[in-house]
Structure 1
Amino acid sequence: MTETRCEMVIGAAAPSFFPATRWAVSLLFFLNGMMMGSWAPKIPLFAGALGLSEGGLGVMLFVFGAGSLLMMPIAGFQIARFGSRQVVQVATILFLPTIVGISLVGDIWTGVAAIFLFGGLTGAMDVAMNANAVEVERTMRRSIMSSCHAFWSLGGLVGSALGGYLIALVGDLAHSVLAATVALALFLIARPSILADRPHASEQRAKARLPLTPLPWLVGLVALFSMIPEGTTLDWGALYLRTELGASVSFSGFAFAAFSLAMAGMRFAGDLVRDRLGAVRTLRLCTAASFIGLVTAGLAPNLTIALVGFAVAGIGISNMVPIAFSAGGNIPGLAPGIGLSVVTTLGYSGILFAPSIIGFVAEHTSLSAVFIAVSFLNVVVFALSSLARYADRASGG
Structure 2
Amino acid sequence: MRAAVSAMFLMNGFVVGSWAPLVPELAARHALSESRVGFLILALGLGSILIMPLSGALIARIGARPVLRVTSIACCFVLLPLVFAPAVPVLVAVLFVFGGVIGSMDIGMNANAVVVERRLKRAIMSSCHGFWSLGGLIGAASGGFLINWFGANMHAAIVAAVAFLIVLCAITRLAPDLPVSPDVKPRFRLTLAPMPYVVGLVALFSMVPEGAILDWGALYLRQDLGADVSYSGLAFGAVAATMATVRFVGDAVRRKFGAVRTVRYSALIAAAGLFVAAIAGSPAAAIAGFALSGIGIANLVPVALSAAGNLPGLPAGVGISIATSMGYSGILMAPALIGFIAEHNSFSVAFMSLAALFAVVLALSSVARHADIGEPATAGH
Return the TM-score normalized by structure 1.
0.76
1:228–1:387 CA distance, 2 compared to 1 (3 A): farther
Name the SS for the 1:318 alignment partner: helix
Aligned match for 2:78, one of 98, 118, 135:
98
Return the match for 2:190 from 192, 198, 211: 211
Structure 1 position 115 matched with structure 2 position 115? no
- Aligned partners of 1:48 and 1:368: how far apart in 2? 22
- Deviation, 1:378, is 1.9
Q: Aligned pairs, how many?
A: 367
CA contact (8 A) 1:144 1:271 kept: no
Aligned to 2:36: 56
Q: Which amino acid aligns with 1:22?
A: R
Structure 2: gaps of 5 or more residues: none
Superposed CA offset, 1:277-336 (max 9, x none): 4xxx54322222133325545777x96999987666433321121233455567787585
Q: Which residue of 1 aligns with 2:244?
A: 264
Q: Deviations over 1:204-258 (max 9, x none)?
A: 51x3323335365444333213223444666788999999xx9885899987676
Residue 46 of structure 1 is matched in structure 2 by 26
Partner of 2:263: 287
Residue 383 in structure 1 maps to residue 363 in structure 2: no
Deviations 1:68-116 (A, max 9, x none): 1112222222222222212111211222232221122112332122111
In structure 2, the CA distance between the partners of 1:97 and 1:263, relative to structure 1 (3 Å rule), is: closer
Mapped contact 2:259–2:371 kept (Cα < 8 A): yes
CA-CA distance at 1:142 after TM superposition: 2.6
Aligned-pair distance for 1:122?
Answer: 0.2
- CA shift for structure 1 position 140: 2.6
Q: Which residue of 2 aligns with 1:161?
A: 141
Q: CA separation in 2, counterparts of 1:370 and 1:136? A: 39
1:138 Cα deviation after fit: 2.6
* Residue 318 (structure 1) aligned with residue 298 (structure 2): yes
2:176 alignment partner, SS class: coil
Compared CA separation, residues 128 and 247, structure 1 to 2 (3 A): same
**Shift of residue 64 of structure 1?**
0.6
**1:1-397 correspondence runs (5 A):** 21-200=1-180, 202=182, 204-205=184-185, 207-212=186-191, 214=193, 216-231=196-211, 259-274=239-254, 276-277=255-256, 282-294=258-270, 296=272, 313-326=293-306, 336=317, 340-357=320-337, 363=345, 366=349, 370=353, 373-389=356-372, 392-394=375-377
1:14 matched residue in structure 2? none
Please tell me the residue identity of whatever aligns with 2:191. Answer: L
Instruction: Classify 1:152/1:139 alpha carbon distance in 2 versus 1 (closer, same or farther; 3 Å).
Output: same
Query: SS at 1:376's partner residue?
Result: helix
AA paired with 1:285? R
Identical columns (%): 42
Is contact 2:137–2:240 with CA below 8 Å preserved after alignment?
A: no
Q: Measure how far apart 1:40 and its partner are.
A: 2.1
Give me the whole-angstrom Cα distance separating, in 2, the residues matched to 1:238 and 1:182. Answer: 22
The verdict on how the C-alpha distance between 1:34 and 1:285 changes in structure 2, with shifts beyond 3 A counting, is same
The whole-number CA distance in structure 1 between the counterparts of 2:183 and 2:307 is: 19
Question: Does the C-alpha gap of structure 1 residues 377 and 297 become closer, same or farther in structure 2, counting only changes over 3 Å?
Answer: same
Shift of 1:66: 0.8
Q: CA shift at 1:123, angstroms?
A: 0.6
Q: Distance in 2 between matches of 1:171 and 1:308?
A: 27
Question: Compared with structure 1, are the counterparts of its residues 232 and 177 closer, same or farther at alpha carbon in structure 2 (3 Å cutoff)?
Answer: closer
Aligned AA (1:74): L
Q: Please list every run of 5 or more consecutive structure 1 residues that lacks an aligned counterpart in the other structure.
A: 1-20
Q: Please identify the structure whose Cα radius of gyration is greater.
A: 1
> In 2 relative to 1, CA 240–98 (structure 1 residues): closer, same or farther, beyond 3 Å?
closer
1:25 Cα offset (Å): 1.1
TM-fit CA distance, 1:170: 4.0
Q: Residue 177 and residue 76 in structure 1: after superposition, are their counterparts in 2 closer, same or farther (change >3 A)? A: same
Going from structure 1 to structure 2, the CA distance change for 1:220 and 1:102 (only over 3 Å counts) comes to same
C-alpha contact 2:10 2:135 (8 A) present in aligned 1: yes
Match of 2:100, SS?
A: helix
Amino acid at match of 1:377: V
Residues 127, 203 of structure 1: alpha-carbon distance in 2 compared, 3 angstrom cutoff: farther
Greater CA deviation, 227-236 or 250-259?
Answer: 250-259
Amino acid at match of 1:33: G
Flag the 1:24–1:144 CA change in 2: closer, same or farther, 3 A: same
Letter matched to residue 129 of structure 1: M
Tell me: CA distance 1:194–1:217, structure 2 relative to 1, closer, same or farther (3 Å).
farther
Q: Distance in 1 between matches of 2:102 and 2:325?
A: 12
Cα 1:240/1:218, change in 2 over 3 Å: same
Amino acid at match of 2:323: V
